[in-house]
Amino acid sequence: MRKKLLTVTLASLMALSLAACGKTENKTEATTTVATEATTQSDAKSSEEKAAEVASLIDAIYVQEFTPDTYTKCEKAKAAWDALTDEEKEMVEGEFADPDYFGRDTGDAAKDDPLNMDDIGENEILVVSFGTSFNDSRATDIGGIEKKIQAANPDWSVRRAFTAQIIINHVYARDNEKIDNVDQALDRAVKSGVKNLIIQPTHLMHGAEYDELVAALDSYKDKFESVKVAEPLLGEVGSDATVINEDKENVAKEVVAAAVKEAGFDSIEAADKDSVAFVLMGHGTSHTAKITYSQMQTQMNTLGYKNVFIGTVEGEPEETECSKVIEAVKAAGYKKVVLRPLMVVAGDHANNDMAGDDEDSWKSMFIAAKAFDSVDTQISGLGRIEAIEDIYVAHTKAAIEALGSSASASEAKLEDGEYEAVFTTDSSMFHINEAYDNKGKLTVKDGVMTMHIVLTSDKIVNLYPGSAEDAAKDGAELYQPTKETVEYSDGTTEEANAFDITVPAIGEEFDLALIGAKGKWYDHKVKVTDPVKVQ
């Protein structure tokens, strides 16, 4: 009764005050904050009700899709959180919500630059990352890469985009920092009059995130004069676990060197003698690119790093699941373990899934195995290693050079005749037969270019000059195969399908859908480059 009486009395005093002051001006009303409204409305609620309301508001913004009211919902959730007492904040618990959503200290957000400025100019490098809500890691790991790319390309404007709306929402709600998603960043580029666009993903591999990025870019390509997507950190995927490349080798060397140094050893051999194993934990994926993790283990073995083991949070591929890695380390006889993320950013996965105190964290599971004398963790992302930043710089440079050469090639008109040209695709499963070294026969007649390509087998049944959707329509005119005998360097032969396809331009990607024996069409991007006239 006393609480109710107090509320009425306060309301009466407010009414008298307003009457004495006269009519409240609109300007004063406009300055009323969301936080004040949230505080006033929650006065009569119990602590449990207040905490539950905040949990509900957090759950409402814990999404991966941007809507027109996303920012307003984020602001409302933060205002309601700020209105709670410390005890009430500890009571926040929802489907996704917990006290750490707003309460965990992840560093100073002011040290990060979201790079969401307009006035970009004609040339833009858009650095696209999954993102992280850990402020220190965002500024150091992602920001470090962005700054290095900008320093190397002073004539280009570097901007940022995150693919994870869940992270974008978290950062804005907690720290009032706006980070563009991919569509927002591309809209910004169009609005600013960008003509030449380079997309540099900070993703580890050609996985699902990379595919989604390329798909999102499709609807914007005609809004720029030229667009090029650079390679992710580890380069091309390759067909099996034995395939390694220069990017994988460089990353392996640099991350191991950083781990060894942080652990206090002069070399990986010295750590091995001290019975120390380094476990590098990646994310993992069900995407076909998951073979990249197996390739990284192959790379470690090739370099002689017998005390380095690759694992993944998701346990895909299967041998990278935590219990499998624990057994592998035990079987190899190592008694000390150092866990470190094989991720560009040391964010939630590194801090919680790897180094957290919950029983299902990697640190806890390695300790629970009772097979090791010590289990230590290193919270450090790949993005803060200078030599790895240099790999991204090199990939961006290659994309810029390809953009220039493609533009020059597309402007050059080939005279009639026969040429040998390079045929490249966006998939390691779709390429020219290895006996022909990625090359085919290009014929130019009356300005029309036709290329003869021989594939790896007869498993690709038809090709179509366009999208898979159009290829599946009735009446679509498909490229029909011809049989060709391929002779390999060892003297063996094989029957494979060959196709004659129309090439719209040299150096520019175009759509070429394919269908296999199972009857499903797939979209692909292909390109013809480097024509050399046959004398």
Looking only at the bridges linking them, the beta strands covering 482-487 and 513-516 are unpaired
With a cut of 90, say whether residue 224 has pLDDT above it.
yes
In this predicted model, what pLDDT tens digit does every residue of 12-36 receive, in sequence order? 433 333 334 443 344 344 334 455 5
C-beta separation of 142 from 148 below 8 A: no
With a cut of 70, say whether residue 300 has pLDDT above it.
yes
Buried-exposed string 266-299: b where 16+ CB fall within 10 A, e elsewhere: eebeebbeebbbbbbbbbbbebebbbbbbbbbbb
Q: Is the dihedral of CA 144, 149, 155, 156 positive or negative?
A: negative
pTM: 0.71
pLDDT of residue 411: 52
Measured at the CA of 64, the angle between CA 61 and CA 67, to 5 degrees, comes to: 65
pLDDT of residue 17: 39
With a cut of 80, say whether residue 7 has pLDDT above it.
no
Strand arrangement, sheet containing 510-511: 482-487, 493-503, 448-454, 439-445, 417-425, 525-533, 510-511
pLDDT of residue 10: 35
With a cut of 80, say whether residue 39 has pLDDT above it.
no
With a cut of 50, say whether residue 427 has pLDDT above it.
yes
In this predicted model, what pLDDT tens digit does every residue of 455-491 receive, in sequence order? 988 899 999 999 999 999 999 999 999 999 999 888 8
Mean pLDDT of the chain: 89
Q: Two tokens at 81? A: 């959180």
Q: Two tokens at 137? A: 């890691």
Pick the residue with more confidence: 6 or 286?
Answer: 286
Beta-carbon contacts of residue 218 (< 8 Å; ≥ 6 apart): none
